[in-house]
Structure 1
Amino acid sequence: MTIKEKQQELVDEFEFLEDWEQKYEYLIDLGKQLNNFPEDKKTDDNLIKGCQSKVWIDASFRDGKLFFNADSDGILPKGIVALLTSIYSGHTTEEILGSDFEFISRIGLQEFLSPSRANGLMAMTKQIKFYAVAYQLKS
């Protein structure tokens, strides 16, 4: 599945949910599905700056693709980072850098979040792009 297809699938799922309470529950459920994040990866290097809660994103590069693992100490940020990593994990650096985050506005996520959480969301998206640039330069 392409990044665009994953984004569209997410937009469709959010349109199906009737109100923000259901969308909030959906995000929390996504967070519960995150893989176990090793304690030794909860470092300052993996910590996302600009988030109200602590959010960590780690990336690995295998077979020409980036794979993300993430965690947060907050239930909502954990769901948001789970959403982002599910979309971008398993794609090439070119695919990630060629994609946009327009789907975030299509699902209305920024409007639902407080200004500090919206800033955290933008910091998470920047970190994903940063990893793509960094690994593209290494390969």
Structure 2
Amino acid sequence: MATEQFEELVEDFEFLDDWEDRYRHVIDQGKAMDALAEELCVPATKVDGCASQVWLHAEMQDGKLHFDGASDAMIVSGLIAVLRTLYNGLSPAEVLAVDARAEMGRLGLNDHLSAQRSNGLTAMIERVRETALREV
């Protein structure tokens, strides 16, 4: 199960023939995100397990999860943007039902991220899932 926005992203990726174009598209997604407020870049929102600096700030609005994030690496900012399209607007139960690895695989990300980036992506997914678990 994925959000409508994520399905649109999958369609965008289907038109991009090579990995370099997809990589640039992920980076562009990150550049298009609003900046995370500096006061939210604190130890409590920092995601451990990432090679770069990553902060995720989640909140519930009307029973739906919404999160923002920031990173000091362009590709990681793009991955945060992709995760936002995957999860934002879902209920906690819906978040927990998402097979994020499979969904990211639809974008071809699983095959093209370095081991460090893949571990960081897993850490970000786990942070989102932990947030949802606290709300169930």
Q: TM-score surpassing 0.5?
A: yes
Residue aligning to 1:73: 72
State the secondary structure of the residue aligned to 1:112: coil
Count of matched residue pairs = 135
Contact 1:93 1:132 in 2 (8 A): yes
1:23 aligns with 2:22: yes
State the secondary structure of the residue aligned to 1:105: helix
Residue aligning to 1:35: 34
State the secondary structure of the residue aligned to 1:3: coil
Residue aligning to 1:113: 113
Q: TM-score, normalised to structure 1's length?
A: 0.90
CA deviation vs aligned residue, 1:78-107 (integer Å, no higher than 9, x gap): 000111012211111111111111111222
Structure 1 segments of 4+ aligned residues over 6 angstroms from their partners? none
Stretches of structure 2 that go unaligned for 5 or more consecutive residues are none
Stretches of structure 1 that go unaligned for 5 or more consecutive residues are none
Q: TM-score, normalised to structure 2's length?
A: 0.92
Aligned-partner residue type, residue 128 of structure 1: V
Q: What are the equivalent positions in structure 2 for 1:1-139 lying under 5 Å apart?
A: 3=2, 5-101=4-100, 102-136=102-136
Aligned-partner residue type, residue 64 of structure 1: G
State the secondary structure of the residue aligned to 1:97: helix
State the secondary structure of the residue aligned to 2:110: helix
Contact 2:68 2:84 in 1 (8 A): yes
Contact 2:47 2:127 in 1 (8 A): yes
Q: Which moved more, 1:6-15 or 1:97-106?
A: 6-15
Q: Deviation of residue 24 (structure 1)? A: 1.1
Q: Deviation of residue 5 (structure 1)? A: 4.0
State the secondary structure of the residue aligned to 2:51: coil
Q: CA separation in 2, counterparts of 1:4 and 1:27?
A: 17
Contact 1:8 1:103 in 2 (8 A): no
Cα RMSD of the aligned pairs, angstroms, is 1.5
